[in-house]
Amino acid sequence: MFNIKRRKDEFFGMFDKAAQNVHEAALALLDLLEHYEDVPNKVRRIKNLEHAGDDHTHRMLDRLARMFITPLDRDDIQRAASRLDDVLDEMDTAANRMMLFKIERPTEDSKALGRVLVKATALLIEAFGQLHELRKPEAMQSLCVEVHTQENEGDRLTQHAMANLFEQATDPRDIIKWKDVYEILEKAIDRCEDVADVLQNIVVKHS
| 167 within 8 A of 191, measured Cβ to Cβ | no
Number of residues written out for the chain: 207
The total number of structural domains in the chain stands at 1
For residue 67, give Cα distances in angstroms to 8, 17, 59, 134: 10, 19, 12, 20
> Can you give the CATH number for the domain in which 172 is found?
1.20.58.220
Determine the average pLDDT of the residues in 152-177.
Answer: 93
Determine the average pLDDT of the residues in 98-116.
Answer: 96
**Single pTM value for the model:** 0.92
The predicted structure's pLDDT at residue 2: 39
Report which listed range, 62-76, 122-136, 185-199, is most confident: 185-199
Looking at every residue in the chain, the average pLDDT score rounds to 90
The predicted structure's pLDDT at residue 87: 97
- What is the rounded CA–CA span in Å between residue 77 and residue 207? 17
Residue 21 lies in domain: 2-206
Determine the average pLDDT of the residues in 37-62.
Answer: 94
Determine the average pLDDT of the residues in 130-153.
Answer: 89
The predicted structure's pLDDT at residue 6: 57
The residue that leads in pLDDT, 59 or 10, is: 59
Which of 5-9, 74-78, 173-177 has the least mean pLDDT? 5-9
- What is the rounded CA–CA span in Å between residue 125 and residue 1? 27
Residue 175 has pLDDT above 50, yes or no: yes
Determine the average pLDDT of the residues in 104-114.
Answer: 96
The predicted structure's pLDDT at residue 105: 93
The predicted structure's pLDDT at residue 1: 41
- Distance between alpha carbon 107 and the CA centroid of its chain, in Å? 21
- Residue 21 pLDDT grade (very low, low, confident, very high; cuts 50, 70, 90): very high
Please give the share of the chain, as a percent, with pLDDT higher than 90.
Answer: 68
* Residue 102 region by backbone torsions, left for phi larger than 0, else alpha for psi between -120 and 50, else beta: left
- What is the rounded CA–CA span in Å between residue 53 and residue 69? 25
